[in-house]
Chain A
Amino acid sequence: AQSVTQLGSHVSVSEGALVLLRCNYSSSVPPYLFWYVQYPNQGLQLLLKYTSAATLVKGINGFEAEFKKSETSFHLTTPSAHMSDAAEYFCAVRNYGGSQGNLIFGKGTKLSVKP
Chain B
Amino acid sequence: DTAVSQTPKYLVTQMGNDKSIKCEQNLGHDTMYWYKQDSKKFLKIMFSYNNKELIINETVPNRFSPKSPDKAHLNLHINSLELGDSAVYFCASSQDPTSVKTQYFGPGTRLLVL
B66 at the interface (CB under 8 A from A): no
- The answer to whether residues A107 and B42 also contact, given A99-B50, A99-B55 and a CB cut-off of 8 A, is yes
B56 touches A100 (CB 8 A): yes
Excluding A43-B105, A100-B56, A103-B43, 19 further A-B contacts by CB distance (< 8 Å) are A32-B100, A34-B103, A42-B107, A43-B4, A43-B106, A43-B108, A44-B43, A44-B105, A49-B100, A101-B48, A101-B96, A102-B35, A102-B56, A103-B35, A104-B45, A105-B42, A105-B43, A107-B41, A108-B41
Complex CA gap A71/B102 in Å reads 25
Question: Which residues of B lie under 8 Å from residue A110 when comparing CB positions?
Answer: 41
The range of chain A's interface size is 20 to 34
B63 at the interface (CB under 8 A from A): no
Residue on A with the closest CB to B43? A105
A101 touches B42 (CB 8 A): no
Residue on A with the closest CB to B56? A100
Question: Which residues of A lie under 8 Å from residue B99 when comparing CB positions?
Answer: 101
Question: Which residues of B lie under 8 Å from residue A95 when comparing CB positions?
Answer: 45
- The answer to whether residues A43 and B107 also contact, given A99-B50, A101-B98, A102-B56 and a CB cut-off of 8 A, is yes
Q: Which of B42, B48, B102, B110 contacts A100 (CB 8 A)?
A: B48
A108 touches B106 (CB 8 A): no
What are 10 inter-chain pairs, A to B, with CB distance below 8 A?
A36-B105, A43-B106, A46-B104, A51-B100, A99-B50, A99-B55, A100-B97, A102-B35, A103-B45, A107-B41
Complex CA gap A12/B73 in Å reads 39
Residue on B with the closest CB to A44? B105
B4 CB, nearest partner CB in chain A, Å: 8
A64 at the interface (CB under 8 A from B): no
Complex CA gap A104/B103 in Å reads 12
B48 touches A90 (CB 8 A): no
